[in-house]
Structure 1
Amino acid sequence: MKKIMYLILAMFTVFMSCDNDDVDIPPTPTAPTNLSVTTVISGDGSGEVTFNASADDARFYHFDFGDGTKGLSKTGSISKKYEMVGDNTYTVKVTAGSGSAQTTSETFDVSVTLSFTDPETVSFLTNDSSKTWFLAASQPGHLGLGPAREGIDGDWWYPKWYSASAFEKCGSEDSDCLCDDELTFSVEENGTMSYTLDNKGQTYFNVGHKAVVGGAEDIDFCYEFDTSGAKAVALSQVSGNVPEDQTTGIQLNFSDEGFMGYYVGSSTYEILFISDTQLYVRTYDTENADLAWYHKFTSAAAVDGGEESLETIYTNLVWSDEFDVDGAPNPANWTYDLGAGGWGNGEAQEYTDSSDNVIVEDGVLKITARSSGAVGGAVHYYDDVTLVATGGETASVENFEGDAPAFTDFGGVSTAVIDNPDASGLNTSSTVGESTKNSGAEVWGGSFFDITSPLDLVTFSSMEIKTWSPAIGAVVRLKIENQANADEFFEVDANTTVAESWETLTFDLSSAPAFNYDRVVLFFDFGVSPSGDAAYTSARIKSENLFEFTYGRVEIRAKLPSAGGTWPALWALGANFDEVGWPATGEIDIMEHVGNNSNTISSALHYPGNFGGNAVVGSTSVETATSEFHNYTVEWTPDSIKFVVDGELVHNSLVNSATTPFNSDFFLIMNIAMGGTLGGAIDAEFTQDTMEVDYVRVYQ
């Protein structure tokens, strides 16, 4: 043990006696010198910058790019892509280091241009090479007018752009040149976009710009005006205070005073919606800053009825019903939808399988809508929607004495302004609002109307509404909402305390968040679905689970009802609707007719991005639609969907593709609805009316 301890002591002594010069100790690092940085800035608008740094004795380079991001390089070379659109200057700091505390830095500015682009929009516009667009002349509102971004009174225009005041221009000689325009977007070899307007030598001018062409007319007019030659077109972000739910955030900018058909002096168009087949834009009048013009375009040309015959590719009859056996419809072909409420369209009928409503007689199918004589659901009346301040000051919101507001109904409710049915007690005014919650309506059914100025909830803390209810204890829900943002709302309930008499219900708004409330929504009998007999009965038959098909030509020969309020339809629905819902399932409306607009036939396609008020719609006049049989046809292929009346092409509504829901099984439906969002007001004298169907044939 002692020998080991001596050995350790001896080794320690030898180590301690070594000369320090014999040990290789690294020198202390020195700061890098001669730091130099060069930049290579891309000139293609991509925002790409390459930095090259060098310094003596540097082991690493740290980059602070001036936009909140950083980078590290051992070689001194690094690339950075800036992401702020436009021309921007960034203060960059480059630090060269040889150790943790030994660094040298240089700070300088770099100016970068990033051009805006959106590959999906470019693809839609150009089909990745070249694509021609046409005015959606067969659709209502193909040219519309509304307030500009910040209107005269600063209020936002609503409903959304597709409901702008519509001017049907293609039927007038003064303006029909607009409907011949062809707008072609192309991708050039260098990746830029170009645009050509072929307007066949004539331009439709807004009257405020007639001086450009030396026009003499005091109305909008078609003038000879040369628009030949390609224009450059670039995308940019929309500038200005534009609500997010009313724009894609992208605008088109045309060079050399390029424009899109209707001349209002503008070369900038805000894209409101774009898909493979639909383009909706808004532009601002250069002579009147308070006006915005709305255009609808389609990538399929609209063809007026009679100008072109359908050349079908489907000639093999695969399914039909000739309705040659009297009695109930053939159960091998048809089943029924039953019940009331109208599936959210505010309709007034109840669908039955009764022979009073659907029967085969004399070689035709007869679907008959009838008045049942019942009241039809629960009816409430209301009046004098008024804001009230704590001190008693009041401000009228709506009293129904002037022009009726534009009601929007939902969930099986219908709303109108009528003569006061009980002008007594608290309310002797002449006209009031009527809310009818039809039998079978959704528990959340109701209606709303919009107001031009937001509710002043700083001055006023509550709202009073005179109400007439058929029962005590009915829940009346008031919802105030921001038109531009449905997530900004406030709800409060009140209960009726008397039956069949006017009373004033008070709704406390003192705790409402500070939003911009310019919509009033009312739900009467909230939480209840009325039962009992509906005011009208009808039938809706379908081939669901019996005959379903993908692609083909459907031909239906029918004679239509004419009474006001009738809404007959021949249509098809995606068979997977119970899995994906509507509109994801797709809907093909072969024929729709409204008794209140008799002998005008419309067809429509509903699918994501194009449904409800924004559906792809076409229409034509058939003067004897309600007195004679006519053939209503759809030709549905993997590439297109075309609508036809009596063999003549009405319009090409869709360039079909893998992105639409029109590539799987659909089933057929035939029905008559009453009233609702499209059927409108029902004739007070209505008793019954019938749609007769001679045959249904499907070819593939």
Structure 2
Amino acid sequence: MKNLMYMFVALLMVFVSCEDDDSFDPGPLSNLAVTSQVSDDGSGIVTFKPTATGAKSYTYDFGDGTTGESLTGYISKTYSTTGENTYTVTVTVIGFDGSTLTETLQVTVDVPAMNSDLVNLITDGSSKTWFLAAAQPGHLGLGPAREGIDGDWWYPKWYSAQAFEKCGSEISDCFCDDELTFTVNSSGEVTYVLDNKGQTFFNVGHKAVVGGTADEDYCYDFDTSGEKEVTFSAVEGNVPEAETTGMQMEFSDGGFMSYYVGSSTYEILSLSEDLLYVRTYDSMNPDLAWYIRFTAAPSTGGEEESLETIYTNLVWSDEFDTDGAPDPANWTFDLGAGGWGNGEAQEYTDSPENVIVEDGVLKITARGTGSGGGVQYYYDDVTLVAAGGSTSVVQDFEGAAPVFTDFGGAATAVIENPDASGENTSVTVAESTKNNGAEVWAGSFFDVDAALDLSTYTSMEIKTWSPAVGVVVRLKLENQANAQEFYEVDATTSVVESWETLSFDLSAAPAFTYDRVVLFFDFGESPTGGAAYTSARIKSENLFEFTYGRVEIRAKLPSAGGTWPALWALGANFDEVGWPACGEIDIMEHVGNNSNTISSALHYPGNFGGTAVVGATSVPTATTEFHNYTVEWTPDSIKFVVDGEMVHNSLVNSDTTPFNSDFFLIMNIAMGGTLGGAIDPAFTEDTLEVDYVRVYQ
């Protein structure tokens, strides 16, 4: 599970603006020094780390015809020219007093034409077949582009990519049958064959290629036979080293990887023995970045591999033999609403209605409260205004609706204007619902195609409709590429159940790139009343924490659409180092909308959220029968097992991973969210049943 309270304590700190300190005096600009670190993996990535007294910002001339800017000075640059090349880099620091200092340094970068480690993983040294990671969340995602962007732009895909689960629909299930085979010959040349079983899943924008007529993405007959050549090269542009391998693949003769968007070039974001995660750009719209996850071919060795455990001494267990509340010597509770980051709909309680031991079984029950409550606010005509009165409309919600990203328990959509009178007679407007039990900072954002021009326009006006007077509306303008670059300003409603125009002064906004509009209605307050759904999350934190061992949990899972049960473990130092640095071990995750599949995952720096190391298996009776879900965690490896059979061997453990210190156990049901998906409108309740939890060492 990714819903970590720690993340949102940190997020709240970002959302809350700090007051200016009039006594701040950085002093004169001086002492510029610059260090550089060249990646040794052949990716061409160089990280620059300057320091200076009195510095306000830094600019870079990278010596290859490209430039960059950074407020902190820290910046990563990917050099793509193959071979060993030396670049003269010029770093200029700008002080708060307007003065500048310049430092010049040389960096030598060796970019091989082909990365042998990547090739070996992709081809397994000879030939290897990959399949769509259909059981994993976000196996197809639409997310941020990076072209032409300098600086630390990255958002985890689980936060910013819009995930689409495609394998359960007739119009797209051909996507899940593809076989992608890479082969390397004795000369090191790589070839590629896509076996699409006769049909390819086409993006609607490219249907003309096959004479398609559907008004949505669709499976069409399409011939992908024939061997394609694969070339590897360094990725062009500035991509943080932790978020990519720095290499890309290009296929000859129009070759592509499973989903047709007219592209033959794929950046390798992450690669391991059983996971290939790539990004490509739509040939008709390079602002659209598509993310696809593939898993390695299943074992062809006959019977599945069985776990041969090294841990046989039972050191801790709960057999749930005593009716009533969970044993307080073993379990405590997480309480609260908002889902801690995954857009979930439930509020966690310690009520017996949500968590109880009965007849030798722990029962965690998610319930629909029937309230579905919350407070609705409406807004429209987001408009920039210049000092002289000229205006520029940012969004009026009359055309194609923007893509909203909600957080903290808010929900946003474009609807028909519920009060087309007074100041606003528009046909359609945006509705922002702050659900009962939502976080005080709940809100949503939408992105704009071009940065807002705050050199011309000094304020923003937004038409709003509120059910109360005195509601604080917080506007936050943000840089999609760098969440640390933002500006916040508040306005307050003055009328009840009527449209009014609120004005937000932007004249003091720093000179950042602003291409994201974030709105918080009734900032600082949470609507009274219960959440639409309640559930429970219990944990052994501070009661039982352990390093290494075999954890076995026997459970029967809920089946209702929108349920998201999980049995997992979290690094006990999460409140000190944060997530994902603390590490997370997902022993079992399941979603009612895909009830025949269970998954397991590891989250840690470089592999978390949408890039977690994930494996899955089919368990057709997961919701009707009890099954044993097991993790074997040793100093050398982490293995996931169902009913004694290996699901995947996900990790070679080492002293560089966070899986070498204490963890504690967690069990819960979330509702909806990034993995749970759409909640069945008829949902009333469903239960996760746990027969026992046992830890062996």
Map 1:234-273; keep pairs closer than 5 Å: 236=234, 238-239=235-236, 250-252=246-248, 270-273=267-270
- Paired with 1:564 and 1:517, the residues of 2 have a C-alpha distance of 38
- Paired with 2:357 and 2:301, the residues of 1 have a C-alpha distance of 32
- Paired with 1:356 and 1:550, the residues of 2 have a C-alpha distance of 33
Decide which of 465, 469, 474 is 1:468's aligned counterpart: 465
- Paired with 2:562 and 2:174, the residues of 1 have a C-alpha distance of 34
- Paired with 2:684 and 2:173, the residues of 1 have a C-alpha distance of 42
Residue aligning to 1:439: 437
Contact 1:542 1:670 in 2 (8 A): yes
Matched, 1:605 2:595: no
Residue aligning to 2:93: none
Residue aligning to 1:308: 304
Contact 2:242 2:606 in 1 (8 A): no
Cα distance change on mapping 1:505 and 1:574 into 2, 3 Å: same
Contact 2:174 2:200 in 1 (8 A): no
Deviation, 1:682, is 4.7
Residue aligning to 2:181: 181
- Paired with 2:437 and 2:283, the residues of 1 have a C-alpha distance of 52
Task: Provide the secondary structure at the position in 1 that maps to 2:575.
Answer: helix
- Counterpart amino acid of residue 327 in structure 2: N
Matched, 1:359 2:356: yes
- Paired with 2:300 and 2:432, the residues of 1 have a C-alpha distance of 41
Task: Provide the secondary structure at the position in 1 that maps to 2:111.
Answer: coil
Decide which of 132, 143, 152 is 1:137's aligned counterpart: 132
Residue aligning to 1:690: 687
Deviations 1:129-173 (A, max 9, x none): 98787647334565778898779xxxx999969948869689999
Task: Provide the secondary structure at the position in 2 that maps to 1:541.
Answer: strand
- Paired with 2:290 and 2:672, the residues of 1 have a C-alpha distance of 32
Matched, 1:592 2:593: no
Contact 1:554 1:635 in 2 (8 A): yes
Matched, 1:576 2:573: yes
Task: Provide the secondary structure at the position in 2 that maps to 1:343.
Answer: helix
Deviations 1:260-316 (A, max 9, x none): 977999997544456797654446799999997755466x76569997253342562
Structure 1, unaligned stretches of length 5 or more? 1-44, 46-65, 68-82, 92-111, 210-216
TM-score normalised by length of structure 2: 0.65
Task: Provide the secondary structure at the position in 2 that maps to 1:506.
Answer: strand
Matched, 1:336 2:362: no
Cα distance change on mapping 1:495 and 1:699 into 2, 3 Å: same
Deviations 1:311-340 (A, max 9, x none): 342562623323232111223322222233
- Paired with 1:401 and 1:295, the residues of 2 have a C-alpha distance of 32
Matched, 1:326 2:316: no
- Paired with 2:407 and 2:438, the residues of 1 have a C-alpha distance of 13
- Paired with 2:284 and 2:533, the residues of 1 have a C-alpha distance of 52
Decide which of 477, 483, 490 is 2:487's aligned counterpart: 490
Residue aligning to 1:116: 111
Q: Give identity over the alignment, percent.
A: 66
- Paired with 1:545 and 1:90, the residues of 2 have a C-alpha distance of 53
Contact 2:476 2:517 in 1 (8 A): yes
Deviations 1:462-484 (A, max 9, x none): 43323233432222111222323
Contact 1:197 1:261 in 2 (8 A): no
Deviation, 1:359, is 0.9
Structure 2, unaligned stretches of length 5 or more? 1-41, 43-62, 65-79, 89-106, 207-218
Cα distance change on mapping 1:427 and 1:340 into 2, 3 Å: same
Contact 1:367 1:671 in 2 (8 A): yes
Deviation, 1:669, is 0.9
- Paired with 1:320 and 1:427, the residues of 2 have a C-alpha distance of 62
Deviations 1:462-514 (A, max 9, x none): 43323233432222111222323334433322111134443322223455556
Contact 2:143 2:161 in 1 (8 A): no
- Paired with 2:467 and 2:288, the residues of 1 have a C-alpha distance of 46
Deviations 1:95-150 (A, max 9, x none): xxxxxxxxxxxxxxxxx99742599x7667769x9878764733456577889877
- Paired with 2:283 and 2:393, the residues of 1 have a C-alpha distance of 37
Deviation, 1:421, is 6.0
Contact 1:335 1:543 in 2 (8 A): yes
Contact 1:481 1:517 in 2 (8 A): yes
- Paired with 1:290 and 1:437, the residues of 2 have a C-alpha distance of 32
- Counterpart amino acid of residue 435 in structure 1: T
Contact 2:631 2:641 in 1 (8 A): yes
Contact 1:488 1:515 in 2 (8 A): yes
Deviation, 1:408, is 1.9
- Paired with 1:276 and 1:606, the residues of 2 have a C-alpha distance of 16
- Paired with 2:590 and 2:673, the residues of 1 have a C-alpha distance of 13
Residue aligning to 1:524: 521
Deviation, 1:425, is 5.0
Deviations 1:639-688 (A, max 9, x none): 44344444554444434333222233222111122344434455555443
- Paired with 1:672 and 1:280, the residues of 2 have a C-alpha distance of 28
- Counterpart amino acid of residue 311 in structure 1: L
Contact 1:323 1:364 in 2 (8 A): yes
Cα distance change on mapping 1:692 and 1:305 into 2, 3 Å: farther
Cα distance change on mapping 1:604 and 1:246 into 2, 3 Å: closer
Contact 2:572 2:663 in 1 (8 A): yes
Matched, 1:540 2:537: yes
Cα distance change on mapping 1:478 and 1:286 into 2, 3 Å: closer
Deviation, 1:412, is 4.3
What count of residue pairs does the alignment treat as equivalent?
574
- Paired with 2:281 and 2:412, the residues of 1 have a C-alpha distance of 35
Deviations 1:608-649 (A, max 9, x none): 122223323344554544444344333434444344444554
Matched, 1:660 2:657: yes
- Paired with 1:266 and 1:169, the residues of 2 have a C-alpha distance of 22
- Paired with 1:343 and 1:218, the residues of 2 have a C-alpha distance of 40
Contact 1:414 1:676 in 2 (8 A): no
Cα distance change on mapping 1:422 and 1:571 into 2, 3 Å: farther
Deviations 1:53-92 (A, max 9, x none): xxxxxxxxxxxxx99xxxxxxxxxxxxxxx997687999x
Residue aligning to 2:77: none
Cα distance change on mapping 1:676 and 1:417 into 2, 3 Å: farther
Contact 1:246 1:272 in 2 (8 A): no
Cα distance change on mapping 1:495 and 1:263 into 2, 3 Å: closer
- Paired with 1:389 and 1:166, the residues of 2 have a C-alpha distance of 40
- Paired with 2:81 and 2:191, the residues of 1 have a C-alpha distance of 32
Decide which of 340, 344, 367 is 1:347's aligned counterpart: 344
Cα distance change on mapping 1:253 and 1:683 into 2, 3 Å: closer
- Paired with 2:275 and 2:340, the residues of 1 have a C-alpha distance of 27
Task: Provide the secondary structure at the position in 2 that maps to 1:579.
Answer: helix
Residue aligning to 2:554: 557
Task: Provide the secondary structure at the position in 2 that maps to 1:181.
Answer: strand
Task: Provide the secondary structure at the position in 2 that maps to 1:354.
Answer: coil
- Counterpart amino acid of residue 337 in structure 2: A
Moved more, 345-354 or 665-674: 345-354
Aligned-CA RMSD value:
5.3
Contact 2:278 2:292 in 1 (8 A): yes
Contact 1:345 1:412 in 2 (8 A): no
Residue aligning to 2:92: none
- Counterpart amino acid of residue 360 in structure 2: G
- Counterpart amino acid of residue 434 in structure 1: S
- Paired with 1:613 and 1:243, the residues of 2 have a C-alpha distance of 17
